[in-house]
Amino acid sequence: MKPNFSLRLRVFNLNCWGIPYLSKHRADRVKRLGDFLNRESFDLALLEEVWSEQDFQYLRQKLLPAYPAAHYFRSGIIGSGLCVFSKHPIQEFTQHVFTLNGYPYMIHHGDWFCGKAVGLLVLHLGGLVLNAYVTHLHAEYNRQKDIYLAHRVAQAWELAQFIHHTSKKADVVLLCGDLNLHPKDLGCRLLKEWTGLHDAFLETRDFKGPEEGCTMVPENCYVNRQELEQFPLGIRIDYVLYKAVSGLYISCKTLRTTTGHEPHSGSPLSDHEALMATLCVRHSPPQHNPSPTHAERSPLISVLREAWAELDQGMAQGRWWATIAGYVTGLGLLLLALLCALAAGGEIREVAVLLWTPSVGLVLGAGAFYLFHVQEAKGLCRARAELQHVLGRAREAQDQPALLLGQQEGDRAEEQ
């Protein structure tokens, strides 16, 4: 690699709010999004909540001259809603569907049916390998009573692990998406600490957009202002995160977001604001990287402990619901056996027949409830076990310098 090597990468990210039949002015917004992307000609456009594959095909045809490479990540019943458009050839792509993603009986929220996931595409740019990730985590519907917190923490951990294990051959790592996490939320801190990703909003010196980098603002006509009563400026839940390997230096030269309206037409492209980042990658002379100090490891250990406790609480709750559902299923089976005996004996046969259908429904419903929460508890247990292992390794690494220092001091005392 030449000493004066440099690479400029322009990235666009947007949660498109493209729910068929429910999202307002969806067709018009998709059309204007295509026009906007053609005008700006980014290197990469990463989109979330493109729930309709027809919308993706429309954008693909419209953007084909400027973005010849594209991919739509399919998962779940409705779909992941994730898609990417690239000016450069896509060398590889894959995806990981999150193990936990809400509850099927919470139909009005709908996250369980979507198959939330993380998509990965590998690009070769100027001799570098770029791993670009796009994701969308479970929504937060009630910040005070967040029944999905354990699921979102588990998703953040799975996302961090997926990036950790798939980016070992990458020179540059880029993650964009709607994390549904505030900057200081547990899931966001866990993701950053474990992957070492940098936040474009915090790193850039040239930012233009809403105050505090908010990506959902009350000025947007599609936003429900009642949901932002606690946050008069808005909330920041959409991110551009990045890092580079040793020998390379990556920085965010500029970061722009829309401010409740699209720059050209004035109407919003979505209920979320778009993120537009210009990243610069250049050669950096090899530097000696000392082992992380005690102070540097402490934030990782702290956030791992916090995440472990949250997953443990969620696992206990999942097991409790599974136990209740198991008892209800057992009682339902006993009731069915009793009804069969009454019907066979001819006693109150009409009543037994009438109660048969609701009893079968009770058994099937409680059985499905039991199976789901058993699966939930196992998923949380798996994530907790991974966290516990990483936490143990981090503690060992933290204690080693102290042990070495103690040994050195003991050796000096013996010499004296």
Please identify every residue annotated as catalytic.
Answer: 272
Of the candidates 194, 150, 72, 91, the one whose C-alpha atom is nearest the C-alpha of residue 319 is 150
Rounded to the nearest 10 degrees, the angle between the axes of helix 149-166 and helix 294-345 is: 120
Contacts of 140 (CB under 8 A, 6+ apart): 146, 148, 152, 180, 181
The answer to whether 43 touches 87, Cβ cutoff 8 Å, is yes
- Tokens 């105050």 belong to 211
Distance (Å, whole) CA 117 – CA 74: 9
Contacts of 92 (CB under 8 A, 6+ apart): 120, 121, 122
Write the DSSP string, 85-114. Answer: EESS-EEEEEEEE-S----TT-TTT-GGGT
Please name every residue paired with 241 in a beta bridge, in sequence order, or none if there are none.
175, 199
Distance (Å, whole) CA 239 – CA 43: 17
Q: Give the Cβ contact number of residue 401 at 10 Å.
A: 14
Distance (Å, whole) CA 48 – CA 34: 14
Contacts of 156 (CB under 8 A, 6+ apart): 137, 179, 181, 186, 187, 188, 190, 191
The answer to whether 26 touches 308, Cβ cutoff 8 Å, is no
Rounded to the nearest 10 degrees, the angle between the axes of helix 349-415 and helix 294-345 is: 160
Element (H, E) at 13: strand 6-18
Dihedral sign computed on CA atoms, order 177, 109, 115, 61: negative
